[in-house]
Amino acid sequence: MRAKVGPIVAGPGWVIDGGYRAKLGDLVIRNADLVVWLDLPLRVWLVRLLRRTTGRVLRREELWNGNRETLRNVIFSRESLLWYSLANFWRRRRLYPAELAQYKVVRLRTPKEVAQWLATFA
C-alpha cells in the first residue's frame, strides 16, 4: 500500500481519507498541506453510519470484490465498521489533538462548521 500511495502524496493536488494510518504511518500526513479533522458529534455520525449501513444491507450492495454487508457481520463481526467506529471514537478525540498538533489542522465539529468551511471554496 505504501508503494502505491507514496507517489500520489509526493505529487500536487490530492485528497486522502486518513483511515489508513495503521498501515501507512505518517506517510500521508507528513506530505499534507492541510489536515481536515471531521470531529462530528456521536449523535450525528452514528445516525449517518447506521443509515448508510442499513441501506447497503437491504440493497445487498457490493462494497468491493463481491463483499457485501449482512446484518450478521454488521452486528456480530469483530471487523464490523459499526463496532470499530464506536470503539475508536473516544480514543481519537483523546489522542488526535496531541498527534495532530504539529500539522496545519482544520477541526470541524458540527455539520454547520463543515458547510461553512466548504462554502469558502465555492
Helix (H) or strand (E) holding 68: strand 67-68
- The pLDDT of residue 45 is 95
- 55 inside domain: yes
Grid look-up 450492495 returns 61
Range(s) of the domain holding residue 111: 34-119
Q: Are 45 and 56 in contact (CB under 8 A)?
A: no
Mean pLDDT of 77-92: 88
Residue 53: inside a domain, yes or no?
A: yes
Q: Is residue 62 part of a domain?
A: yes
Question: How many domains does the chain contain in total?
Answer: 1
Answer yes or no: is pLDDT of 19 > 80: no
| Paired sense of beta strands 105-108 and 67-68, if any | unpaired
> Residue 14: inside a domain, yes or no?
no
Residue 13 forms part of a structural domain? no
Query: Is 29 part of a structural domain of the chain?
Result: no
State yes or no: pLDDT of 108 exceeds 90.
yes
Q: How far apart are CA 100 and CA 107, in angstroms?
A: 10
> In this structure, is residue 25 part of a structural domain?
no
Residue 102 lies in a domain: yes
